[in-house]
Amino acid sequence: MWFEKSLDEIIKEFNTDIVNGLSSEEALARKNKYGPNKLAEKKKKSILKLLFEQINDVLIYILLAAAVISALLGEVSDAVIIMVVIVLNAIIGLVQESKAEKALESLKKLSFPKALVKRDGRIVEISSEDVVIGDIVVLEAGKYVPCDLRLIETANLKIEESALTGESVPSEKYAENVLKGEDIALGDQQNMAFMSTMVTYGRGTGVAVAASMDTEIGKIAKMLDNDEKNLTPLQVKLAQLGKILGFGVLVICVLMFIVAVIQKRDLFEMFLTAISLAVAAVPEGLPAMVTIVLAVGVQRMIKKNAIIRKLPAIETLGSVNIICSDKTGTLTQNKMTVTKFYADGTLDNISGLNMKNKVHFALVEYMILCSDATYSADSKTGDPTEIALLELGAKFDLYKKDEDRLHVRVNEIPFDSDRKLMTTLNRFDNKYNVITKGAVDNLIEICSSIYLNGGIVPFSEELKLKVMNASDSMSKDALRVLAAAFKKVDSIEIEIDSMEKNLTFVGLVGMIDPPRENVRDSIEECKKSGIRTVMITGDHKNTAFAIAKELGIAKDFSQVMLGYEFDKLPEKEAGNRIDNLRVFARVSPEHKVKIVKTLKKKGNIVSMTGDGVNDAPSLKTADIGVAMGITGTDVAKDASDMILTDDNFSTIVEAVKEGRNIYNNIRKSITFLLSCNIGEIIALFIGIVLGWPSVLRPIHLLWVNLITDSLPALALGVDPDDPDIMKEKPRDAREGLFSGKNGVFLIGNGILIGVLTLSAFYVGTRIYPNSVMHAQTMSFVVLSVSQLFYTLSMRHSEKSIFQIGIFTNRYLIGAIILGIVLQNVVITVPFLASVFKVFRLTLNDWMFVILLSIVPLVVNEIVKMLWKQNT
C-alpha cells in the first residue's frame, strides 16, 4: 500500500528524483513500456453493426419485402433498383454518421486535460496521457489529478473525491501523514491523491504511483461508457417532427392505396408506389444530416479558436443577445507591466523607486516573495499579474530564486477570487514575516499600521485616505492596483486564521494591461447586431470603467456597479436596474450566478465567461458557459459549453456568428428537404385523385430521393458564412423552425414543385397520348431538376442569387451538376433507360422540362424582390 510507505521508499521504488523529476528520455521509455495514461474506452462499433443500424428501420424492411416480391413477379429491374437504393442510402448514412462521430472524437481529444510535471529539472505542462509512473506531478486549485499520486508536499491542499468516493466535501490532504493499516478507506488516505479527482484549493506535489487502468478509478471503471448521445434541442425537435411527418405520410399512402383500390388500379404497382413515396417523403435522414452540419460547424469553429463541448451550444450561440465577459485576459491582453507605485507617502512612476529606501525595497521584495510565478531571462510561468511583479524585481536585481533561498516560504494561504488576497509566511533571520498582497480595498481593512520613513506608525484615517486617493488615481488611468502588507511573528506555529489580521501596510503598485486588438471592433459589431456586452471583473471599479469606456462597453459611471452591491439588491430591483448596467466590478464568482439568473429571467440568452474553480456554477447557469482555454482551470472547462483556446473576447463573437450561420444553414436544408417531399406527395396524390395514370413510377421516386436528399441538402447545410449575418438581430430562441416566412416558403414551394410535376405529366400525355412512359419521364425530370435548381434560391431568404454569388457554394454547384448529369445518364443510356422505364426525350421535350424546372427558382427570386420592396 503506497500510503503506508515512507517517501524514501517510494522514491527508491519508482527510481525518481524529487528535485528534477524524470528525464524526458526516461519518461518516454516508461510511456513506451506501459502505454498512455488513460482509462480504457468502450469498444467501437464494427462497420457491419453500423450498417445494420442504418437498415434497421420498418420502412426499409417493407422496401426489402417489396424488392423480393418484385423479383418473384419477374420485375427484376425494379427489384435491383430498390436494392441499389437501399444500399446507397445505407452507405450515405454510414459515411455521414462516421464523419460526425470522428469530428466529435477529435473534439474529445482537444479538451483532454493537461498535467504539470517536473521533467529535466523544469516544470512543464503535458497532456495527462503522457504522465508516467515516477513522474513528479504538481497539483494546483482547479486541476484534475492525472493519475494516482503519493503526495510529497502539500500547502492547504484540498481535493474533491466524489468521482471515487461519492463524498462531495473536499478532503484535506497532508503529505507527511504516513498511515498504517490494511483497511484504510480511500477517502482517509490523506497522503494520496487519486486520478480523476479534482483539486479545489491549495497546492501540492506528488509521485505518480499508478497510471491508467492500475489506478483506483481504473479498477472501478473497467470500461468508460462513452455512449451517451448528446442530442441538441433542434435534433430532438426534428426527431419528433420526423415521427409526425412519417405518420402523416403513411396516412396519405394508405389513403392513396384506398383510392387506387376504388379506382381498380394495378394494386401491386400501387403498393410499390405507396411504399416508395413513404421512403422518399419520410425525412428519416434529417437528424443525421443535422449532426453532420453541426459537426462540420464545430470543426470550422476550432479553426477560429472556439471548442464546442456540447453540440446544443451551437444552436444556442445563434440566439445569444448578452455576452458577459471577464476583463483580464479576455478583453485585455493579460500582459501586465508595472508602471506606477505608491510607497512611503509618494505616488510616482517606477523610475522613482529607490532601493535604498526601506519601504520601497520592502514593497518590491514582498511582492516577489508573495508570488507563485517563476521568472528568469528565458522563461516565465504563472499568473501574468505576478510575472509583472517579478519583472519589476528583476529591474532592481531582485530575483525570485534568490529571495526564496534567503527567506524560505514555510506556510501560505493561496489567492482566491473571493478574498482577493494571497498570504505567505517567510523566514526572516530567526523570525517570520507574514506577507499579504491583494486588492487594496480588501487589504486596507485588515491593516492597522503603515510602514513610513522606515518605521511603523498607526494607520490613521488620514493616511488611509491618502492610500485610497493614490489607488483611485492609478485605477482611473486603467491601471490594475495591487497592495502589499506584512507583519513580523516569532513563531512558525501561527494559526492560519490569524495570519491576515493586524497587518502593516507597505504600498501599492499599478500595472497596465492594454486592451486586446480587435476587441473594440467586435464590441461595435455586437452592438449593431443587437448583442449587449457586459464586463464582469474582479478588478477595481475605476479600472474596470476606464477600460470599459475605452472599449465602448460603457459610457457613464452610472453603468458600473460593485458585485456585492448587486448581490444585495432585492430580486425585483435587480431586474429593474440590470438593463442599464454594463460593468460589474469587484465581482466574486458567486455574484456571477445572480447576474446570470437576473438576465435570464428577463428573457435574455446569456453567455458568461469564467476560469476559476468557483466559476463552475455560473458557467452552468448561463445559456452558454465559456471557459478560458489558456488560463482556465479544468473545473471551469468541464462546466462549460465552449472553450476559447485563445481566451479572446473576439472569439466569442466569431462563435456567435458561426452559430447563427450554422442554424440558418440547417434551417435552409430542412426547409428544402421538406418542401421537396411535399412536392412529391402532392404530385402523386393529386394525380391519383384526378384518376390519371401514375405520374411517377416507384423507382423514380426513390431515385429523386437519392439525388436530392443527399448531396444538395448537405451542400446547403455547409453554405459559406453570410458576411451580413451580424446585421440581423438575434434569433428569438422560442421561435419555431418554420415560423413566419420560412413556413410560407416551405408550403409554397412544395405546392409549386408538385404542380409543376403534374403539369409536365399533363403536357406529356397531350403531346404523346399513346405513351404514359413519355409523360412519366417528363414529370420525373421536372421533379428532380426543379428541386436541384431551387436549392440555389434557398441559400438566402432575402438576398438574390446574384447578390450572394451563384458560384460561391462550390459544393452546391457540384451537387446540382452531378444531379443533372446523373438524371441525364439515366434517361439516355439505353440499359438504364430500360431499367428505369423512361423514354429518351427529344430536344423540344428537354427545353420544355428545363423551362418548367427553373420556375421555382425564378418565382422565389421574384418573391424575394417583392418582399424586399414592401419592407
Q: Which residues are catalytic?
A: 326
| CB-count exposure of residue 261 (10 Å: 0-12, 13-18, 19+) | exposed
Name the residue with cell 428577463: 602
Residues in 374-393 that interact with ligand ATP by CB under 6 A: 383, 385-386
Say how many C-beta atoms besides its own lie within 10 A of residue 795's C-beta: 25
Stretch that binds ligand ATP, among 13-21, 228-236, 535-543, 807-815 (CB under 6 A): 535-543
* Sheet bearing 642-644, strands edge to edge: 306-308, 642-644, 624-628, 606-610, 322-326, 532-536, 583-585, 560-562
Q: How far is the CB of 199 from ligand ATP (least distance, A)?
A: 17
Helix (H) or strand (E) holding 246: helix 233-262
Q: How far is the CB of 543 from ligand ATP (least distance, A)?
A: 7
Binding ligand ATP (rule: CB under 6 A), the pick from 66, 422, 467, 773 is 422
Q: How far is the CB of 412 from ligand ATP (least distance, A)?
A: 11
Using CB under 6 A as the binding rule, whether residue 541 contacts ligand ATP is answered as no
All 3 cell numbers of residue 870?
414592401
E strands within 477-564? Answer: 480-489, 503-512, 532-536, 560-562
Decide: helix, strand or coil at residue 349.
strand
Contact 589, 610 (CB under 8 A): yes
Binding ligand ATP (rule: CB under 6 A), the pick from 170, 538, 679, 764 is 538
Binding ligand ATP (rule: CB under 6 A), the pick from 438, 629, 717, 819 is 438
Strands 624-628 and 642-644: parallel
Q: How far is the CB of 708 from ligand ATP (least distance, A)?
A: 50
Using CB under 6 A as the binding rule, whether residue 439 contacts ligand ATP is answered as yes
Whose Cβ is closer to ligand ATP: residue 482's or residue 636's? 482
Dmax of the chain from CA atoms?
115
Q: How far is the CB of 430 from ligand ATP (least distance, A)?
A: 28
Supply the DSSP symbol for 224: B
Stretch that binds ligand ATP, among 44-52, 98-106, 160-168, 326-334 (CB under 6 A): 326-334
Task: Tell me the per-residue interface mask from 442 to 481 with ligand ATP, x by CB under 6 A, - otherwise.
Answer: --------------------------------------x-
Whose Cβ is closer to ligand ATP: residue 363's or residue 756's? 363
Contact 193, 159 (CB under 8 A): yes
Say how many C-beta atoms besides its own lie within 10 A of residue 483's C-beta: 25
Decide: helix, strand or coil at residue 515.
strand
Q: How far is the CB of 823 from ligand ATP (least distance, A)?
A: 59
Binding ligand ATP (rule: CB under 6 A), the pick from 96, 197, 291, 328 is 328
Contact 318, 660 (CB under 8 A): yes
Gap between the Cα atoms of 240 and 234, Å rounded: 10
Decide: helix, strand or coil at residue 153.
strand
Whose Cβ is closer to ligand ATP: residue 4's or residue 383's? 383
Secondary structure (DSSP) of 420-436: TEEEEEEEETTEEEEEE
The site that binds ligand ATP (CB under 6 A) totals a number of residues, namely 20
Q: How far is the CB of 118 from ligand ATP (least distance, A)?
A: 22
Residues in 566-625 that interact with ligand ATP by CB under 6 A: none
Task: Tell me the per-residue interface mask from 175 to 204 with ligand ATP, x by CB under 6 A, - otherwise.
Answer: ------------------------------
Q: How far is the CB of 544 from ligand ATP (least distance, A)?
A: 8
Whose Cβ is closer to ligand ATP: residue 547's or residue 760's? 547
* C-alpha gyration radius of the chain: 34
Stretch that binds ligand ATP, among 34-42, 93-101, 436-444, 649-657 (CB under 6 A): 436-444
3-state secondary structure 383-430: CHHHHHHHHHHHHCCCCHHHHHHHCCEEEEEEEECCCCEEEEEEEECC
Contact 776, 694 (CB under 8 A): yes
Stretch that binds ligand ATP, among 245-253, 394-402, 434-442, 680-688 (CB under 6 A): 434-442
Contact 152, 192 (CB under 8 A): no
Whose Cβ is closer to ligand ATP: residue 15's or residue 469's? 469
Say how many C-beta atoms besides its own lie within 10 A of residue 289's C-beta: 25
Supply the DSSP symbol for 53: H
Q: How far is the CB of 341 from ligand ATP (least distance, A)?
A: 14
Binding ligand ATP (rule: CB under 6 A), the pick from 98, 111, 339, 417 is 417
All 3 cell numbers of residue 134?
515516477
Dihedral through CA 666, CA 671, CA 673, CA 674, nearest 10? 140
Q: How far is the CB of 139 from ligand ATP (least distance, A)?
A: 18
Q: How far is the CB of 729 from ligand ATP (least distance, A)?
A: 28
Binding ligand ATP (rule: CB under 6 A), the pick from 537, 633, 661, 665 is 537
Task: Tell me the per-residue interface mask from 102 to 121 with ligand ATP, x by CB under 6 A, - otherwise.
Answer: --------------------
Using CB under 6 A as the binding rule, whether residue 482 contacts ligand ATP is answered as yes
Q: What are phi and psi of 354, to 5 degrees?
A: -125, 115
Decide: helix, strand or coil at residue 405.
helix
Gap between the Cα atoms of 782 and 281, Å rounded: 17
Whose Cβ is closer to ligand ATP: residue 326's or residue 654's? 326
Q: How far is the CB of 628 from ligand ATP (least distance, A)?
A: 9
Gap between the Cα atoms of 120 and 117, Å rounded: 10
- Among left, alpha and beta (phi > 0; psi -120 to 50; other), residue 119 is beta
Whose Cβ is closer to ligand ATP: residue 591's or residue 731's? 591
Q: How far is the CB of 562 from ligand ATP (least distance, A)?
A: 12
Binding ligand ATP (rule: CB under 6 A), the pick from 75, 130, 539, 623 is 539
Using CB under 6 A as the binding rule, whether residue 341 contacts ligand ATP is answered as no
Using CB under 6 A as the binding rule, whether residue 437 contacts ligand ATP is answered as yes
Gap between the Cα atoms of 618 and 375, Å rounded: 33
Contact 634, 651 (CB under 8 A): no
Binding ligand ATP (rule: CB under 6 A), the pick from 160, 161, 326, 658 is 326
Stretch that binds ligand ATP, among 233-241, 324-332, 486-494, 552-560 (CB under 6 A): 324-332
Stretch that binds ligand ATP, among 338-346, 416-424, 649-657, 863-871 (CB under 6 A): 416-424
Nearest residue relative to ligand ATP (C-beta): 538
Whose Cβ is closer to ligand ATP: residue 241's or residue 482's? 482
Using CB under 6 A as the binding rule, whether residue 284 contacts ligand ATP is answered as no
Whose Cβ is closer to ligand ATP: residue 270's or residue 608's? 608
Q: What are phi and psi of 362, to 5 degrees?
A: -60, -40
Gap between the Cα atoms of 871 and 866, Å rounded: 9
Whose Cβ is closer to ligand ATP: residue 647's or residue 658's? 647
Whose Cβ is closer to ligand ATP: residue 513's or residue 525's? 513
Stretch that binds ligand ATP, among 106-114, 206-214, 534-542, 643-651 (CB under 6 A): 534-542
Contact 38, 213 (CB under 8 A): no
Stretch that binds ligand ATP, among 297-305, 413-421, 553-561, 736-744 (CB under 6 A): 413-421
Gap between the Cα atoms of 23 and 118, Å rounded: 9
Binding ligand ATP (rule: CB under 6 A), the pick from 14, 342, 415, 432 is 415
H-type alpha helices, 810-870: 810-828, 830-836, 843-853, 855-870
Using CB under 6 A as the binding rule, whether residue 327 contacts ligand ATP is answered as yes
Contact 480, 439 (CB under 8 A): no
Gap between the Cα atoms of 532 and 316, Å rounded: 16
All 3 cell numbers of residue 105?
472524437
Residues that bind ligand ATP (CB under 6 A): 326-329, 383, 385-386, 415, 417, 420, 422, 437-439, 480, 482, 537-540
